[in-house]
Structure 1
Amino acid sequence: MKTAFASLALALLAGAASAQQVSTASTVQVRDKTQSSPRLNPVEARADRLSNQMVRDLRLNNYQATKLRAINADKIAKMAAIERKNAGNPQLIDQECNGVCKERDQELQAVLSNDQYSSYFGSRANYYKFDKDFASQSASILLTNSVQNPSPARANDATISPTKPKPANRPAGNLGRNAR
């Protein structure tokens, strides 16, 4: 009798312990607010798009792809800052962006093999055009999207919108849903 009672108590304790473990595990994943969204960071999306194209074209391994992505993220951020700073002067933008592209060339020469680098060097103008086309498209897309879907105005995700007009003539007394 004592062994049956002891085994029953042990089974109950094991069941309670496993129930506690299940209850502490959360099924809802909390969104990491430190990670930027593509809508808020078009520069990151632009760099990823260019990097993906270069990885496919140049057939890079994982190490090279990781290095290339870091280089492109840095250079695209610099180019975007140049574009914002010199918004009305396309000649100055091209001139300064060419300097950034030369920096990228030097950094990629250390990462890529000779065959890959010669292939990249021959396609450099195509990559620059690929990036510029996406930048001009994404700027207009982001403007349209931000007008059609305004971002939250406050931290609690409330948006500012026109209020509903109140009726000009209200009935006197309590004739609402609480009237009985």
Structure 2
Amino acid sequence: MGKLFDSIDDTLKAWIEAQPLWFVGTAPLAADGHVNMSPRGHDSFSVLGPNRVGWVDYTGSGVETIAHLRENGRVCLMFASFDSRPRIVRLHGRGTVSLPGDADFDEVVALHPDNPSTRAVITVDVTRISDSCGWGVPVMEMTGERDLIRLHAEKKGAAGMTAYRAQKNTRSIDGLPGLTA
């Protein structure tokens, strides 16, 4: 068992925010529902306080994280070091979805570069923080970010993105409500 933390201190904050790739895991309440694990990247994640984090949620082909959080709030974020020092950090907590015009949305979006694919902001009240060795994680080199999310959104334009979200983001794969059309 790794170390447990009471809060995210400055050292842990710096390590978390330096990771170019992290994962968010959620699940519906239904026993036959699908657990979802999504990779995240780009300059989209922020530590907002000792027990609060948030990220800019970009438009995707699904809406599982949003649907699960709206249903039950349970979330686990995982950060893994792919450089020479192995480490895994998990943040468990209760997540909230904020949309344009909400205070949390405005707070988190202001901390990151503008992206035309932005659809929501997720904030998490962190209730458990742990780390583990990460000895099984490979050493890999970051060569750059993909810019496909931005390019896709720019090509579609605002009206096209609204139509895309109406088509792809109103229901989860389990039929839970996502974004309203």
Q: Larger radius of gyration, structure 1 or 2?
A: 1
Higher helix content, 1 or 2? 1
TM-score of the two chains, using structure 2 as the length reference = 0.22
Higher RCO structure, 1 or 2 (CA under 8 Å, sep 6+): 2
TM-score of the two chains, using structure 1 as the length reference = 0.23
